[in-house]
Structure 1
Amino acid sequence: MEITLDKKSANQGLVRISLKEEDYQDKVTAKLKDYAKQANIKGFRPGKAPLGMIRNLYGTSVMVEEINSILGEKLNNYLKEQDFKILGDPIPDESKQQDIDWKTQKEFDFDYKIGFVENIEVPLDSKIKANNFKIKVDDAEVKETVENLLSQQGESSNPEVSEEGDNLYGDLAKADGTWSKTLTFPIDKLTKKLGSKFIGVSKDAVIEFPSKDVKKAQWDEAFGLTDEEKEHVDGDLTFTVKNINRTAKAELNQTFFDKIFGPDQVKNEEEFMTKVKETLQANYDKESKVYTEEELKKALVEKAKIELPEEFLKEWLLKANQGKVSAEDVEKEYPAYARQLTWSLISNHLATANDIKAEHEDVIEKTKAMVREQFAASGLGSQMEDSMDMFVDNYLKGEEGQNYMNMLTSVQNDKVLAMVMEKLKLKDKEITVEEFKKLLEE
């Protein structure tokens, strides 16, 4: 047996496994003898059929089976011995295998395409530029949040004519009639210039406006359109009013305080404002942490300059998901896949280089934190603590154990990023909520 590697490029290669008859014949003969002991063939007592007859009946299929077993084992062991990182799975040259004459050939060559990366280096030095973003919640943000809460908790009505602060329900459509969607949107989420067109209108009114008058973020924030739907909203648009929804503001009193934070959590307006600010700050702290980490990942990916075997990976993704995705799907999703794969390679490299390990206990604690957050959002946090172990166990066993592996990876990423942030001594950069929103739009 001979195994050779031809590196076609810096990240793609061809592994050839050459087999001679002596490499597989003993295993084939042993398997046929086992068949003979169990075979029940007409004209012979059970297990007494001649080996030659068994070979004629089953020889080719057994040979194919044993050769495939040998190939899988030898290829796997060979790739494990290499000092480069294999990506995806080897792709057999099917066209070459189709030319094999299994009945007459004694010697075989099998070719496998491979994709890999080697010599990953991620020096953690001052050349990596990244900030530790800190979002400062100011009084204006608190006031806006309280105003929204008062509106949400107030009594609703359906007036005949719209006013500032109302929500309009109706059909957003292209003026040429080629696309439409029924939705509700708040007038206040639009610019003052555009919003004025929707004030003082009644049911069945048709408002015309050009799509250029809608800011990019407002397609999400006001109209709630998906990326696919946004592709339709170009040129002239219309909105046909079907209903007007108005909510009178609630009163800033103890009943309101209890609705927002629970009974007797705050006892006056000053405590309420403080609690709102603390809650907002905690939420933005989480968001800024995520943003900081994503920006740091981008900086590390740029620094590492890992060249992926794009052609190989696209072919592998198509074959690995055969029937589930098209070549067009792979082409569209590849950039996101490549970014995630590159970060995974960097994370694993830094974890190994710095002896960082994700322990089972870390996985349990991170999962508990996730479950607590989910239940807290639904107002059931404190009631679920006694059943926490059951929820965690059920989640981690889900998706045939894939949830556990995903959480393990997440823990490793957390530890790697924490280590990187400490080594690079990221500079804190305080920004306002508005500045943060602009960063997200870029």
Structure 2
Amino acid sequence: MNITRNTTDNLSAVITITVNKDDYQEKVDKVLNQYRKTANIKGFRAGQVPMSFVKKQYGQAVVYDTVNEILQKAVSEHINEEKLSILGNPIPVVKEAIDWNAEELTFDFEIGLAPEFEVDLTKVEVETYKVKVEEDEVQKYVDNFTQRFGALKSLEAVEEGAILKVDQTINGEEAKPSFIRVEDLKDASAFMGKKVGDVVEVNTKDIFDTTEEATQHLGTEVAEEGVNVTFTLKEVNTVAKAEINQELFDKVYGEGAVDSEEAFREKIKTESENMYSKEADKQIINDVVAQLLANTTFDLPTEFLTKWLTFSNEQIATEEQAAEELTKMEKSLRYQLIEAKIAEANNVEVNAEEVKEAAVAAITEQLKMYGQTTIPEESMNQIIAGALSNQEEYNRLSYQVFTDKMLAIFKENVKLNEKEVTFDEFVEIITEKNKELAEA
């Protein structure tokens, strides 16, 4: 077997592979002998089929499969051994006719080569934002915690903020009991002042903003004109806010994590600033990527990529469609190349232990959101194992670790101009940037 490579232009090449009969005949004979032993052909006893018949029946197909296997392996090994950085996959050059009985077979494969370019992060300059958390925002979190960890308290009559447990009769037919939050109703006047045992008859149009809300609440399809519902009040409750004391601190942050209201508020402020810092970090990445795309110029093997898309994507029937698709994916492709260049220059790798650590951090944070600050080790290990066994989730966590490493490289190398802003100012800035990104 002989392999050569001819460069057609700076970013394209053709790999030519010449296969001799000696390269595949032994394997072909072995496969045909196996066919002869197992073939079940009418008129012949098992294992007694003449080899001439087997060759006539299966020979060309076996040669085709064997040669194709050899070619795929040869192309892959050549790319790896020559350390070629390619885009897409090799495309076989179609031949009108192949004489499979010839002593020598020659095949061509087109490849697209990744462009050579340099990335200089020191020339990138972006703004970064430090969000200052004000006392009124801390108070919102405190109010949320006291509400979330509060307890149900019975009320004598319906009032603002009440939560009602009701039996339901829809158009005269009994339905499943449900709960109604007074604050969620468009108009709660029909319920105000009612007590346990009272009956309220209304049309869904009068109490819900949309038919979707009515449908979701009742558990049955509701038409535009609404339906008549009879509610019988079984319970009238409200949520009594939790007191701001050690019990609340322990429920929110774990036993003994904070020991005073001052420390509680300070921890809320710190965690809020850390959360906003993560959002600001995302914006650093977005802004650096935007500048790199704008300032790092290189050509792509457009002609090859257009052919490759046509060849590899069944939904693309013409080169015109492929060209349109390439235009859509070009920005993403360019950044993948830039990202790979930066990662290679900085030896960025992600190992399984780092992915596991990311899973632990993500799961711990998620459990914390639901008020679970402690969990048995065995249960935690089961949750982590479940997450890591899900390939999609593993890939997501792996890319998150990779992204965090890229962020660290950006922070170390690009020029960051820090700007202190309020939360509202930060939201306005991010909203405007996202709008610009969507329009780009």
TM-score (norm 2): 0.64
Residue in 2 that maps onto 1:412: 402
1:142 lines up with 2:138 in the alignment: yes
- Amino acid paired to 2:427: K
Residue in 2 that maps onto 1:261: 252
From 398, 412, 436, give the equivalent of 2:426: 436
Residue in 2 that maps onto 1:422: 412
Residue in 2 that maps onto 1:129: 125
* Residues 112/52 of structure 1: CA separation in 2 closer, same or farther (3 Å cut): same
Show CA shifts across 1:309-348 (max 9, x none): 4565566567656469999998898678555544443344
Residue in 1 that maps onto 2:215: none
- Whether the aligned pair in 2 keeps the contact of 1:122 and 1:303 (CA below 8 Å) is no
Show CA shifts across 1:335-391 (max 9, x none): 785555444433443333333432332222122111212222222241254433322
Residue in 2 that maps onto 1:290: 282
Offset of residue 18 of structure 1: 4.5
Distance in 1, matches of 2:376 and 2:321, equals: 41
Runs of 5+ unmatched residues, structure 1: 159-165, 171-201, 207-239, 241-247
Q: How does 1:22-421 map to 2 (within 5 A)?
A: 23-39=23-39, 46-93=46-93, 96-97=94-95, 99-100=96-97, 108-125=105-122, 127-143=123-139, 156=161, 253-254=243-244, 258=248, 261=252, 270=262, 273-309=265-301, 312-313=304-305, 316=308, 322=314, 338-383=330-375, 385-399=377-391, 403-421=393-411
- Whether the aligned pair in 2 keeps the contact of 1:362 and 1:411 (CA below 8 Å) is yes
What's the secondary structure of 2:375's corresponding residue? helix
- Whether the aligned pair in 1 keeps the contact of 2:5 and 2:15 (CA below 8 Å) is yes
| Count of matched residue positions in the alignment of Structure 1 and Structure 2 | 365
Show CA shifts across 1:203-223 (max 9, x none): 5999xxxxxxxxxxxxxxxxx
* Residues 351/267 of structure 1: CA separation in 2 closer, same or farther (3 Å cut): closer
* Residues 261/379 of structure 1: CA separation in 2 closer, same or farther (3 Å cut): closer
Distance in 2, matches of 1:57 and 1:91, equals: 30
Distance in 2, matches of 1:205 and 1:46, equals: 77
Runs of 5+ unmatched residues, structure 2: 153-159, 164-182, 188-204, 210-225, 227-237, 434-440
Show CA shifts across 1:153-200 (max 9, x none): 895369xxxxxxx87759xxxxxxxxxxxxxxxxxxxxxxxxxxxxxx
- Amino acid paired to 2:430: L
CA-based RMSD: 4.9
- Whether the aligned pair in 1 keeps the contact of 2:252 and 2:371 (CA below 8 Å) is no
- Whether the aligned pair in 1 keeps the contact of 2:126 and 2:415 (CA below 8 Å) is no
Larger-Rg structure: 2
* Residues 255/324 of structure 1: CA separation in 2 closer, same or farther (3 Å cut): farther
- Amino acid paired to 1:294: N
Distance in 1, matches of 2:384 and 2:97, equals: 52
- Amino acid paired to 2:67: I
Show CA shifts across 1:60-97 (max 9, x none): 1111111111111111112223444122322334xx35
- Whether the aligned pair in 1 keeps the contact of 2:185 and 2:207 (CA below 8 Å) is no
Distance in 2, matches of 1:132 and 1:106, equals: 67
Aligned-residue identity in percent: 29
Distance in 1, matches of 2:290 and 2:4, equals: 37
* Residues 421/333 of structure 1: CA separation in 2 closer, same or farther (3 Å cut): farther
What's the secondary structure of 1:382's corresponding residue? coil
* Residues 101/345 of structure 1: CA separation in 2 closer, same or farther (3 Å cut): closer
